[in-house]
């Protein structure tokens, strides 16, 4: 291996470690978000029977179980609640690095590929948020990596490893049923011609996968009802558009605002991106056929055919589900698996079929430019989809400084902040704060936490502003006639 190859490998590893460090920093410092707090309040900080027997679309069962272990061992905090997600993020980055090396070896595009897989804003957020999306994505991507590295006749232990990875991904979040089944189906098609393959698939992949998934989800899903699955889009086009917008429209505040057409250009790009995804899918058909006929036995060949087959089968299942039972198409994070799938597919197509030097240079420039769009959207201090929650932790700290706990106080707040305040109330043992209810703004209160839409209440209720959060633009206030405790 030449010195330049070692340099690019080290740079790719350094980028992966830098992303992991960013995830750890955000997990330790960012205020809790509404979805994370809901997870704790309803599924983690409750008796085990409620964790296992309650269900909601927000209940990521395996994540809730691991979070219980984390907060039980290290105490309740935003960081310990997010710890399983951080570990899942570390696994995702390891697999992303391995897949990138499978495609590009130790070349400059190795670094760009790791960045494109790890710095997409939707993926980056889920690598530290206390939700099951990031860990589930890591397990699904691990299964894809295992399948791509299989020999023509995979061993039972290799089949079991892939099955358990797929079962874990579904346990973390039900959205991975679709890509998991698609990948398992492709494994059956790809290995079914080998002698004894069907027996091995049944005993060492299908049964472990089904049993593992059943053990994790059986009790919660027994209490599921159809109306719990409420998040999604009614059309496929809007579904793809939601992924595009989540990837490009998180706010590029790092970029100089002097370029007048910048925001409009990004919106246009995000609206056109679904067309690019459609072209990519259709280009995959002849590329997959060509690969099956020529280089299917290589790792890159197996990766490409697995991506194409899994993508088309997953798409077909989504369309059939929508037409047959009116199942909603994914919306943004519920279709997060499409991000690495489409990213890897585009990189694979470019690696295999863009051979001219000038064309390769153009592809490299485009990849680095796209990575720059991701870098410009990094917000270390908060999670962009949950910007309204950015000041909750600081407001709780302000209340702790102003009150000594000698009296019971009532907090009135926007419904979006209720779960977060109740989380910190439990986290810090603030029993002197009455439990916050969703209708708390409709009742008199000692303090008020108001989002921008609630600010007219300051004049209406004659409130005195105590603190303003610059990120969420929320304010903490109290009635002007009341003096806080010394």
User: Which residues face 450 on adjacent strands?
Assistant: 475
Q: Does the pLDDT value for residue 80 go beyond 80?
A: yes
Q: What is the pTM of this model?
A: 0.94
Backbone angles phi, psi at 3, to 5 degrees: -65, -40
- Look-up: residue for tokens 């590295």? 149
DSSP string, 213-273: HHHHHHHHHTT--GGG----BSSHHHHHHHHHHHHH-S--TTS-TT-TTHHHHHHHHHHHH
pLDDT band at 195 (very low <50, low <70, confident <90, very high): low
- What is the mean predicted confidence (pLDDT) over 143-152? 86
Which residues, 6 or more positions from 105, have their beta carbon under 8 angstroms from its beta carbon? Answer: 5
**Percentage of the chain modeled with pLDDT above 70:** 93
Residue from 345, 360, 355 nearest 280 by CA: 345
DSSP 316-371: HHHHHHHHHH-PPBP-GGGGTTHHHHHHHHHHHHHHHH--SHHHHHHHHHHHHHHH
**Number of C-alpha atoms within 13 angstroms, CB side, residue 131?**
26
pLDDT band of 54, cuts 50, 70, 90: confident
Q: How far, in Å, are 58, 118, 385 from residue 231 at the CA level?
A: 10, 25, 15
Three-state SS at 109: helix
Q: What integer pLDDT is reported at residue 253 of this predicted model?
A: 66
Instruction: Evaluate if residue 486 carries a pLDDT over 50.
Output: no
Per-residue pLDDT at 18: 97
Residue 295 has pLDDT above 90, yes or no: no
Between these two residues, 2 and 9, which has the higher pLDDT value? 9
pLDDT class for 484, splitting at 50, 70, 90?
Answer: very low
Contact (CB, 8 A) for 183 and 227: no
Cβ-in-10-Å burial (0-12, 13-18, 19+) of 101 comes to middle
Residue (of 426, 393, 380) closest to 33 by Cα position: 393
Q: Is the pLDDT of residue 1 over 60?
A: no
Q: What is the pLDDT of residue 55?
A: 77
Which residues are registered as beta bridge partners of 479? 463
> Mean pLDDT for the chain?
89
> What's the rounded Cα separation, in Å, for the pair 425 and 447?
14
Residue 483 has pLDDT above 60, yes or no: no
Q: What is the mean pLDDT of residues 338-353?
A: 94
What distance in Å separates the CA atoms of residue 373 and residue 378, rounded to the nearest whole number? Answer: 9
The share of the chain scoring above pLDDT 90, in percent, equals 66
Render pLDDT for 247-283 as a digit per residue (tens, 0 to 9).
998 887 666 666 778 888 888 999 999 999 999 989 8
Question: Is 80 exceeded by the pLDDT of residue 5?
Answer: no
Residue 30 confidence (pLDDT) above 70: yes
User: Which token pair is 313?
Assistant: 């089968």
Tokens 């002007």 — which residue? 480
**Averaged pLDDT, 158-180:** 93
Higher-confidence residue of 265 and 317: namely 317
- Mean pLDDT of all residues in 55-60: 82
pLDDT at 163 (0 to 100)? 92
Question: So what's the pLDDT on residue 290?
Answer: 84
pLDDT for res 485 = 45
pLDDT tens digits along 371-403: 999 999 999 999 999 999 999 999 999 999 999
The secondary structure element, H or E, covering residue 468 is strand 463-468
């Amino acid at each position: 291996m030449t010195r330049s190859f070692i340099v690019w490998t080290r740079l790719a590893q350094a980028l992966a470690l830098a992303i992991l460090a960013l995830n750890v920093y955000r997990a330790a410092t960012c205020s809790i978000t509404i979805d994370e707090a809901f997870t704790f309040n309803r599924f983690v900080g409750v008796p085990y029977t409620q964790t296992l027997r309650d269900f909601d679309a927000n209940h990521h069962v395996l994540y809730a179980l691991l979070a219980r272990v984390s907060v039980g061992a290290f105490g309740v905090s935003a960081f310990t609640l997010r710890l399983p997600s951080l570990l899942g993020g570390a696994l995702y980055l390891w697999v992303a690095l391995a897949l990138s090396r499978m495609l590009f070896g130790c070349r400059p595009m190795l670094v760009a590929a790791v960045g494109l897989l790890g710095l997409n804003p939707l993926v980056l957020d889920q690598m530290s948020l206390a939700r099951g999306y990031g860990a589930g994505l890591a397990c699904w991507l691990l299964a894809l990596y295992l399948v791509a590295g299989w020999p023509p006749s995979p061993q039972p232990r290799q089949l079991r490893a892939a099955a358990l990875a797929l079962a874990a991904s579904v346990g973390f979040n039900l959205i991975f049923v679709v890509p998991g089944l698609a990948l398992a189906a492709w494994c059956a098609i790809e290995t079914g011609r080998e002698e004894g393959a069907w027996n091995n698939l049944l005993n060492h992949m299908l049964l472990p996968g089904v049993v593992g998934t059943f053990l994790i989800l059986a009790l919660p899903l027994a209490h599921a009802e159809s109306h719990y699955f409420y998040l999604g889009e009614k059309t496929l086009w809007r579904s793809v558009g939601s992924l595009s917008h989540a990837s490009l429209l998180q706010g590029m505040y790092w970029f100089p605002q002097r370029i007048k057409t910048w925001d409009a250009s990004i919106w246009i790009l995000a609206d056109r991106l679904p067309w690019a995804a459609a072209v990519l899918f259709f280009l995959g058909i002849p590329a997959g056929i060509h690969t099956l006929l020529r280089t299917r036995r290589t790792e890159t060949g197996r990766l490409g055919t697995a991506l194409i087959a899994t993508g088309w089968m997953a798409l077909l299942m989504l369309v059939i589900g929508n037409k047959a039972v009116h199942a909603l198409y994914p919306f943004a994070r519920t279709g997060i698996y499409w991000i690495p799938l489409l990213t890897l597919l585009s990189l694979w197509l470019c690696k295999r079929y863009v051979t001219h030097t000038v064309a390769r240079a153009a592809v490299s420039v485009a990849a680095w430019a796209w990575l720059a769009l991701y870098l410009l959207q990094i917000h270390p201090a908060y999670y962009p989809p949950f910007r309204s929650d950015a000041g909750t932790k600081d407001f709780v700290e302000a209340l702790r400084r102003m009150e000594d706990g000698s009296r019971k106080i009532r907090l009135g707040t926007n419904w979006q902040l209720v779960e977060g305040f109740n989380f910190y109330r439990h986290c810090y043992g603030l029993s002197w704060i009455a439990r916050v209810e969703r209708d708390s703004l409709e009742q008199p209160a000692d303090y008020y936490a108001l989002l921008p839409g609630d600010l007219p209440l300051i004049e209406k209720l004659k409130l005195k502003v105590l603190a303003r959060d610059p990120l969420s633009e929320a304010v903490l206030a109290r009635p002007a006639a009341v003096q806080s405790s010394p």
